[in-house]
Amino acid sequence: MRTPRANQGFFLTSKGAAVRLIGPVGFSEMIKGTKKGALKEPPRSDKKVMAIAAAAAKLFSARGYVETSMDDISAAAKISKGGMYHYFGSKGDILYFISSTFMDLVLHNMRRDLEKADDPEERIRLIIFTHVKTYSEHMYMAKTLLNEAHNLLSSRLREIKAKEKKYYATITETLSSYLGPTVDKETLTVLTFCLLGMVNWIFAWYNPKGSMGPERLSHIIFDRFVRSLRTAGSEVPPPEAR
């Protein structure tokens, strides 16, 4: 098993530089009009795109991006190498597609679920449950983003980080609403990264097919995190003291 790399950003590890994505329909187009964040049934050509991406994500998360060749991906996806180049111009294009598609999915699912609630504590619960569920259903893509996106060229990496910042901002806004106006910016930043650390690093140890299902894991994370908010001391007063 490869040792997970420590994050230096919100989800990412370091800097990289620009690749050009060729061919695939954008993820945002594929989820329009769907329920519960499911993908629309893609055209046949896009099924091949997703098959290539799925095979590559599994390889990248197990072996690493650098150690995986286009021949490896072609064999795993059961698509000829020439056919694969019809959809992606390079291995870097595939990595970008995986990273961008996963972040679009995370953002889409979070926004969809947060529309259901106004109460800040319930919104925290939904963020955690949605995050764990999305990661559990797309674990190889999640691992690829967390461990391998630093291999992207800089312009593509900036696009991914911009999406991550949107995710971070939504969490920060939700925690700020829960804690009230007395919480300072520095404490809010610490708490946001604490929550991100709890939910992001499940990829390093959690097996969704094991005895603990995603819902139970989410309950545990939510209970521990909210309990810590209520007992964090004078810097972060409990709800009844606000």
Q: Would you say residue 106 lies in a domain?
A: yes
Q: Give the pLDDT of residue 171.
A: 96
Q: Would you say residue 7 lies in a domain?
A: no
Q: Would you say residue 19 lies in a domain?
A: no
Lowest mean per-residue pLDDT among 23-37, 145-159, 218-232: 23-37
Domain boundaries, position 167: 27-241
Structural domain count of the chain = 1
Distance CA 25, CA 63 (A): 27
Which 3 state secondary structure label does DSSP give 10?
A: coil
Lowest mean per-residue pLDDT among 111-115, 142-146, 226-230: 226-230
pLDDT exceeds 90 at position 6: no
Nearest Cα residue to 224 out of 194, 202, 186: 194
Distance CA 211, CA 133 (A): 15
Q: Would you say residue 6 lies in a domain?
A: no
| The model scores a pTM over 0.95 | no
Q: Would you say residue 21 lies in a domain?
A: no
Q: Give the pLDDT of residue 232.
A: 56
Mean pLDDT value across residues 47-73: 96
| Residues 160, 149 contacting (CB under 8 angstroms) | yes
